[in-house]
Amino acid sequence: MPLVRVDRIPHHIAIIMDGNGRWAGRLGQPRTYGHRAGSEAVRRAVRACRKLGVSALSLYAFSEQNWHRPPEEVRALMDLFREFLISERQEILRTSIRVKTIGRVERLPPDVGQVLEALVAETRDLRGMTLQLAVSYGGREEIADTAKRLAQHAAAGRIDPACVDEAFFASELPSVGAGPVDLLIRTGGEQRISNFLLWGAAYAELYFSDTLWPDFAEEHLYAAIQAFQRRDRRFGRVASDDVHTGDPGDGARVHA
């Protein structure tokens, strides 16, 4: 197991969990078999992050674009989310995890939406770690939806357009409540952000792993954190500028 420094654990880790389909294909199994194994990897990652003292873990569970997958695959993923929320409820409560969702959750089937909404309400005041589940999520959509909402408020005279600066806009973005992303991990060998947390990941350290998501174990997470701890984070400044050491957008961080 790679060693990590306990004094420099990233506050906010975000993961693009890619490779379930290929993992299943290699075993001659349907894609849904890979998603089921992927949900076991989700359980492991949540536990490991909680143990390490991570403040927020954001998981890209389902993108807006994923609705275009075959209906049987979409339904299987929805069933897995529901199962995950039900089976993990006790542990989530016991370990004081606050579940939050980002994305157009109103698009979820009612049986999934209800379980999710109930767990979000039940865990609202827990502060051990925030588990931010991105479902029916897209970073561009989030920014566009927020811009539309602020434009409507401005048109109705509820806000002064002159107040809409970077900090104000960030404070209105649902995903930014969990704080800026420190470490963005993508599994499965591709090297792109795929519309995940576009605003919050502006200064994230990117870590790409060839491991397919169902194989992603605690040791892979430790390797990602170890790589993060070797990076020199300058946030556009010079290395010796030790007066400002955080993400310039850190004002919007709400610690879990």
Q: Which is closer to ligand FPP, CB of 22 or CB of 104? A: 22
Is 20 annotated as catalytic? no
Q: CA–CA separation, 46 vs 44, rounded Å?
A: 6
Is 250 annotated as catalytic? no
In the region spanning residues 130 to 159, those forming contacts with ligand FPP, defined by CB under 6 A, are 133
User: Dihedral of CA 42/43/46/51: which sign?
Assistant: negative
Shortest Cβ contact with ligand FPP: which residue? Answer: 21
> Binding to ligand FPP by residue 175, rule CB under 6 A?
no
Q: At what angle do helices 218-230 and 31-52 cross, to 10 degrees?
A: 60
CB of 7 to ligand FPP, least distance (A): 30
Query: Count residues contacting ligand FPP (CB under 6 A)?
Result: 21
Token pair listed for 240: 């010796």
Per DSSP, which regions of 148-243 are E strands?
Answer: 183-186, 205-208
Helix (H) or strand (E) holding 16: strand 12-16
In the region spanning residues 14 to 73, those forming contacts with ligand FPP, defined by CB under 6 A, are 17-22, 31, 35, 38-39, 42, 59, 61, 66
> Binding to ligand FPP by residue 81, rule CB under 6 A?
yes
Q: Using CB under 6 A, pick the residue from 113, 188, 200, 249 that binds ligand FPP.
A: 188
42: three-class secondary structure by DSSP: helix
Q: CB–CB of 60/137 below 8 Å? A: yes
Which residues of the shown chain bind ligand FPP in the complex (CB under 6 A)? Answer: 17-22, 31, 35, 38-39, 42, 59, 61, 66, 77, 80-81, 84, 133, 188, 213
